[in-house]
Chains A and B, each alone.
Chain A
């Protein structure tokens, strides 16, 4: 029996548009080319999880779409290497300023660049949010409620899970569900973690990972090569570059890579967007559009809006209520490594293997609101050296730990840190990029609830390793992921977009990326972002049919 090949997505031919023997996209010669002076139906800013998914859906409904992406158009065969250091180009490493009591390091653990976005270098975990995530305020008295519920996203989760496709065991937490692909086999490093968790009474499950477990169209079975964080070389791990873009291009989407959008243009009389200015090869261009979807993620989306000042929007686009850039969240992602006598070789598999969401929701006996998830993760040698030096080992001791790499395995947590108004993106007052645009400044401080959550989660993982019989442990405090910054909400005075991702006060501006999340749960954000875009596309296709879109144009002119 061919594992995993039994169900294919009905409205996405991407897996068949790839080549079995080559990794890059095969239909680029058929890509559309739209003139700049004529408005397209939609300009999408950013070719990541949110933007590409949205474009693929709308292109199938006949929309003419241009995606502008700051980074290059990746060809995995040509551009990606099995080398931690050599993979640096897939991270967004342009200058950004950081500050606050707990500043966040930017780069490999939270920001991608190029067509495919951050998913080209994510580990592959694609859990759903829980129903409780959408009503945190009501249930737990912290954060805010979402203007939508789990029920609004459930069908989108299912659709996207089939397209990636997600492999994993039946999932008992949140809204219990199954996955389209069977769970991957797990390696020695995850076996010891699972055993330790079992002894502590903690349930772990295999997955959920968006890595093929079987042939999927022309995408092959995962070869367990590792280096997923450096970009998948065989097209097994999902990223929009291979899961949605081939189909989008086939349906008339044009992608302009190496194109940095510098501002959104607005008609001063009507307050509607008219297009975007972008820089390509040092030259400024203007692409006119009937509507704009900003999908630049939690730092660059607020930065673009804040930089798009005009007479009508002197504080930045959609920022009349001083909400743009606020409530940016990261997840507390402390990792605890453990040493075992046997050889574990944690690099010999995808980093995501088993995980647990047993501690996801609030348990009042813990003394803090909300919770965390636990996941295996496998740092490669440079990442491993960071673990060792974080505990102060240097010189001879560092060399010994490095030599011992194959005996170690790592569990990480993802703690739900709460949204805070002052954890925010502002524009730098000192530093500009090559285009003369102020770079983003990101201030981040933990609140007491965050600190208690991280401390508790770390203790749980240390107990797992104790129970598993670990001989030695190393802990590194770190953060992962980025969401928020342009959150969706019920009212214009405490959010940036409404439940339909439409910016308050700018009717043809949409935001479709991780920045709209009002809370983040303990889930890795990729699937959530894609599901939100899937839902938005459905709304736009149903509500804004051709007649409605024509009326946007007539109103503008």
Chain B
């Protein structure tokens, strides 16, 4: 609202994107994943969602560490992209009355989030080289997000043959 700070160098952009990553991780851990856990019907999803919630909390801590490594205070800045995904999810999930169909939709929504995160962290990794900040832990985050995505795809493959006609 106030006049936005002007971003004029790679470090400013890096910190801005880092703040977005922190907001995403914290929001996923505090609000989104617990919500998905409540919404999910299939046993197939319970364990991967719980595991990813634990990972996500660690991701938030890693992002905070990178803030500190950049000599900056960890702050979170809202991500319009995640907000949009959340709104879209909330609007449609209520309308889906068939539990298996809802789970499938939930998987697609979660997968979108994983893609968003992967893109963000890969950008941060590239930018970090210019800024001279060690973001080694982000490679592990990307690996974990990819793994979460693969788990979702597996669950989706299991669910698809059992859908109602």
Residues of A in contact with B (beta carbons under 8 Å apart): 97-103, 105, 322, 332, 390, 421-422, 426, 428-431, 441, 443, 445-448, 454, 477-479
> By the criterion CB–CB under 8 Å, are A429 and B30 in contact?
no
Complex alpha-carbon distance, A443 and B77, angstroms: 7
Please pick, from A390, A422, A428, the residue contacting B27 in the complex, using a CB distance under 8 A.
A422
> By the criterion CB–CB under 8 Å, are B2 and A445 in contact?
no
Chain B residue nearest in CB terms to A442: B75
Complex alpha-carbon distance, A428 and B74, angstroms: 8
- Contact residues of B between 64 and 107, Cβ < 8 Å to A: 64, 67-68, 71-78, 83, 87
Taking A421-B31, A422-B23 as contacts, is the C-beta distance between A448 and B75 under 8 angstroms? no
> By the criterion CB–CB under 8 Å, are B30 and A421 in contact?
yes
Please pick, from B30, B72, B76, B87, the residue contacting A443 in the complex, using a CB distance under 8 A.
B76
B11 within 8 A of A: no
What residues on B are CB-neighbors of A430 within 8 Å?
68, 71-73
> By the criterion CB–CB under 8 Å, are A429 and B64 in contact?
yes
B54 within 8 A of A: no
B21 within 8 A of A: no
B1 within 8 A of A: yes
B26 within 8 A of A: yes
> By the criterion CB–CB under 8 Å, are B75 and A443 in contact?
yes
Residues of B in contact with A (beta carbons under 8 Å apart): 1-3, 19, 23, 26-27, 30-31, 64, 67-68, 71-78, 83, 87
The smallest C-beta distance from A369 to any residue of chain B, in angstroms, reads 13
Complex alpha-carbon distance, A250 and B83, angstroms: 54
Q: Which 10 A-B pairs have the closest CB atoms?
A: A99-B75, A445-B78, A101-B77, A477-B1, A101-B78, A97-B73, A443-B75, A443-B76, A102-B1, A100-B77
What residues on B are CB-neighbors of A98 within 8 Å?
75
> By the criterion CB–CB under 8 Å, are B77 and A445 in contact?
yes
What are 17 residue pairs bridging A and B, where the CB atoms are less than 8 Å apart in the complex? A99-B75, A100-B23, A100-B76, A101-B77, A103-B2, A332-B1, A421-B27, A421-B30, A422-B27, A426-B74, A429-B68, A441-B74, A443-B76, A445-B23, A445-B76, A447-B83, A477-B1
What residues on B are CB-neighbors of A422 within 8 Å?
23, 26-27, 30, 76, 78
> By the criterion CB–CB under 8 Å, are B1 and A479 in contact?
yes
> By the criterion CB–CB under 8 Å, are A99 and B73 in contact?
yes
What residues on B are CB-neighbors of A441 within 8 Å?
73-75
Complex alpha-carbon distance, A477 and B1, angstroms: 6
What residues on B are CB-neighbors of A103 within 8 Å?
2, 75
What residues on A are CB-neighbors of B71 within 8 Å?
430
The smallest C-beta distance from A398 to any residue of chain B, in angstroms, reads 16
Taking A421-B31, A422-B26, A447-B83 as contacts, is the C-beta distance between A100 and B3 under 8 angstroms? no
What residues on B are CB-neighbors of A100 within 8 Å?
19, 23, 75-78
What residues on A are CB-neighbors of B68 within 8 Å?
429-430
What residues on B are CB-neighbors of A443 within 8 Å?
23, 75-77
